[in-house]
Amino acid sequence: MKKHKWMYVVVDEGHKLKNINCQLSRILRQISSKNRVILTGTPLHNTLAELWALLNYVSPEIFNDWKIFEDLLTTNSSNQQIIEQEKQNKIISSIHQILAPFMLRRTKPEVGLDLPPKKEILVYAPSTPSQQILYECAVNLVKSAKEQKSDKFTLECSVIDGRKRRKSTKIIDYKQYYKDFDELYDEESYTSLIADESVIELPKELVGSRQDNQYVSFGRFNRYNILMQMRKITNHPYLVQWPYDHRKGRLVVNEDIVRTSGKMRALDELLQQLYVRKNRVILFSQMTKMLDVIEEYCHYRKYQFLRFDGSTKLDERQQYINEFNTNDQIFMFLVSTRAGGLGINLCGADTAIIYDSDWNPQMDLQAQDRCHRIGQSKPVIVYRLVTAHTIDEKILQTANSKRKLDKMIIQKGQSFRASNQQNGDQQRTLTLDELIKILESTDFKAIYNYSTDKLESDRLYSDEDLKKMLDRECSEELIEIGSQFNRSQE
């Protein structure tokens, strides 16, 4: 391709060029062309520097200094700082004018797709006792290393490679994967977190004996992955240590797979109601090992499911998609967010569950649109699960800041460009009231908080709350069930 001079180079899913130094970007820039076009539904993911990288590819002569562009506005700016900047310098309005000649954007309503409504609900879940202790251990580990000014801290434990992931509901014999468990097992290594000379004891309920259940550890704690380990703990403690029945030669799967995780408790209550109502579900997770846990849960609850992740062969992917869309008996489709978030149509489902959020909000938006697209005839509801008072809330806060930037720069800018085209030469800019409304807006139509008086019971949410959570009627006003005070009592 480099040998020829092209009239046009058209790059589909062009947001992959957001890193100007990535290999794809470098190779495409070597192709000589008179015109360049980028096709993408998400031109702004994290920062304005990424948007500049796309513009630099399209027109490198004009957009040749990324620092000037990036310094205009950042996701770290507070709402008040953004408002003051707009008052003094009209920065956002200036960006809209810069982008106007280079961007043509059409949203679903503008092209007349006539899709049913989509409603997103934020569902807060508590941390279970085992999650709280593990999370505290992780936090203390970091504090201990900071005090000793050391990077050399780790969770000393035997690591057994994870079992093969299933592609269907076929039962697997676990003995073949853990036949050498006796040789790998070291009783001392399962009892403490070691940070240099200091030792942090693990909770008793997570330490098995040789006579009863033992535990399989799936990773090591260190400075460079502690954030990921904290995310694992908030998702499910089995991602750190999963009970293993040495006598039966397999991982333990019982009611504890639900009880030991706050998110799983919330998920279980939702799925039971969705199953009765004959709704069909796509569940997204960032972690394939979390999908492993949910697979076991589906077997335990006898839910039929399919699974799609990065290891799924190309010739099997479309087969699974077609099977799900045509077979109403399949209740759930388990999908890894990155592998299944683009280019597939799962309109056979009317419910999406984001089990763990991505730092990049566009990944989750692309994922939930797998079922809210052409061919969908039912209202779609999206549940986003969040473990209260954990790193989950920080991820959500960061993602909301990035979404705020997208709404200000891309979405509002496009509406002004369309308005200005209709009004001829009369230029309309962003007013302060409109800016404040954007900054205070949220993608969520409802927020559901668990009640602390139900933490010790079998249910997190009352029948009345679940009925409201399952209501697919869209409201313009944000609805919040339960109080923030209840969550703060945890």
DSSP string covering 413-429: HHHHHHHHHHTTT----
Residue among 357, 309, 312 at smallest CA distance from 120: 357
Q: What integer pLDDT is reported at residue 160 of this predicted model? A: 32
CB atoms within 10 A of CB 59: 12
* Secondary structure of residue 448 in the 3-state scheme: strand
Tell how far CA 88 is from the center of its chain.
36
User: 27 is written with which tokens?
Assistant: 């190779």
* Secondary structure of residue 35 in the 3-state scheme: strand
Query: Rg (Cα) of the chain, in Å, rounded?
Result: 25
Residue among 34, 31, 32, 25 at smallest CA distance from 57: 25
Query: Which residues of the chain are modeled with pLDDT < 70?
Result: 68-78, 85, 87-89, 108-113, 142, 144-225, 341-342, 412-430, 441, 451-456, 476-478, 481-490
Distance (Å, whole) CA 189 – CA 180: 17
* Secondary structure of residue 213 in the 3-state scheme: strand
Q: What integer pLDDT is reported at residue 106 of this predicted model? A: 76
CA distances from 426 to 103, 106, 419, 434 (A): 19, 21, 9, 18
Do the beta carbons of residue 291 and residue 334 sit within 8 Å? yes
Within 13 A of 196's CA, how many CA atoms are on the CB side?
14
Within 100-195, residue ranges assigned H as helices are 129-147, 181-184
**Tens digit of pLDDT for each residue in 217-265?**
555 555 556 788 889 999 999 988 888 787 877 888 899 999 999 999 9
**Tens digit of pLDDT for each residue in 447-486?**
877 766 666 677 888 888 888 888 888 776 667 766 543 4
Within 117-201, residue ranges assigned H as helices are 129-147, 181-184
Distance (Å, whole) CA 280 – CA 265: 19
Q: What integer pLDDT is reported at residue 1 of this predicted model? A: 79
* Domains observed in the chain: 1-71 (no CATH), 73-102+390-444 (no CATH), 118-126+261-389+449-488 (3.40.50.300), 129-256 (no CATH)
Residue 187 phi/psi, 5-degree rounding, is: -55, -40
